[in-house]
């Protein structure tokens, strides 16, 4: 048993390296040739793996493009679950957003690709739905709201709209920096925070 743990760790590192390579070369190919013109076979060749290997990690080409969403959902769930005592869902969401405003290479490529494709824009918005559901649950907890209470869903929808707006390249004017983007988010959060405090007093 003692010998199996390092082997398992090595396997996981190799799998992660393969996944990262697929994402990186796909982003480069999308940037060079365009999303639609890039094929799974071309990604596999550039990553030096088989198409079958790619499908072991990603169900579709779109899943490669939006590969960071599952990890983003996990980070948000953890931020909401582990928020300090006395911190509200909005406090945790703000800290989460602060950590999400500096995009990596793949995210910047995705932004430019999505900007020119309405189908991908709809796909990206759909992938925010699980994150919004996490917000609904956390806000409902803060409000001690029941399952039929629509208020948490309205607040979460407003937050999602604000977050996606500052990331949406098809919705100008775009913030010029993470600080400018955060200022816009804070405007929305300030408004919603006041509304939530009023709801708690009712």
CATH of the domain at 174: 1.10.357.10
Name the domain boundary from 26, 42, 61: 61
- The contacts of residue 106 (CB under 8 Å, 6+ apart) are 23, 24, 27, 67, 68
Percent of the chain with pLDDT over 70: 83
pLDDT at residue 115, rounded to an integer: 84
pLDDT at residue 172, rounded to an integer: 52
What one-character DSSP code corresponds to residue 117?
Answer: -
Structural domains of the chain, count: 2
Q: What pTM was computed for the model? A: 0.76
CA distance linking residue 166 with residue 181, whole number of Å: 6
pLDDT above 70 for 41: yes
Expressed as residue numbers, the domain containing 73 is 66-201
Same domain assignment for residues 81 and 171: yes
Same domain assignment for residues 73 and 172: yes
Report whether 65 contacts 113 (CB < 8 A). Answer: yes
pLDDT tens digits for range 99-123: 776 666 667 778 888 888 888 988 9
pLDDT tens digits for range 130-185: 999 999 999 999 888 888 888 889 888 888 887 776 665 555 555 556 677 777 77
CA distance linking residue 117 with residue 58, whole number of Å: 21
Name the domain boundary from 46, 61, 76: 61
């Amino acid at each position: 048993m003692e010998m199996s743990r390092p082997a398992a760790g090595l396997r996981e590192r190799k799998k992660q390296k393969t996944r990262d390579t697929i994402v990186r070369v796909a982003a480069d190919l999308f940037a060079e040739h365009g999303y639609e013109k890039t094929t799974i076979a071309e990604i596999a060749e550039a990553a030096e793996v088989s198409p079958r290997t790619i499908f072991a990690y990603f169900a579709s080409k779109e899943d490669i493009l939006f590969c960071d969403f599952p990890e983003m959902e996990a980070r948000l769930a953890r931020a909401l679950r582990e928020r300090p005592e006395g911190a509200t869902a909005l406090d945790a969401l703000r800290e989460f957003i602060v950590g999400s405003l500096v995009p990596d290479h793949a995210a910047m490529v995705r932004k430019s690709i999505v900007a020119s494709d309405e189908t991908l824009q709809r796909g990206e918005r759909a992938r925010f739905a699980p994150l919004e559901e996490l917000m609904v649950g956390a806000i409902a907890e803060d409000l001690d709201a029941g399952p039929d209470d629509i208020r948490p869903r309205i607040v979460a929808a407003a937050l999602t709209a604000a977050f996606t707006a500052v990331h949406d390249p098809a919705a100008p004017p775009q913030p010029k920096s993470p600080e400018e983007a955060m200022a816009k988010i804070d405007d929305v959060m300030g408004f919603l925070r006041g509304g939530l405090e009023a709801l708690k007093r009712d």
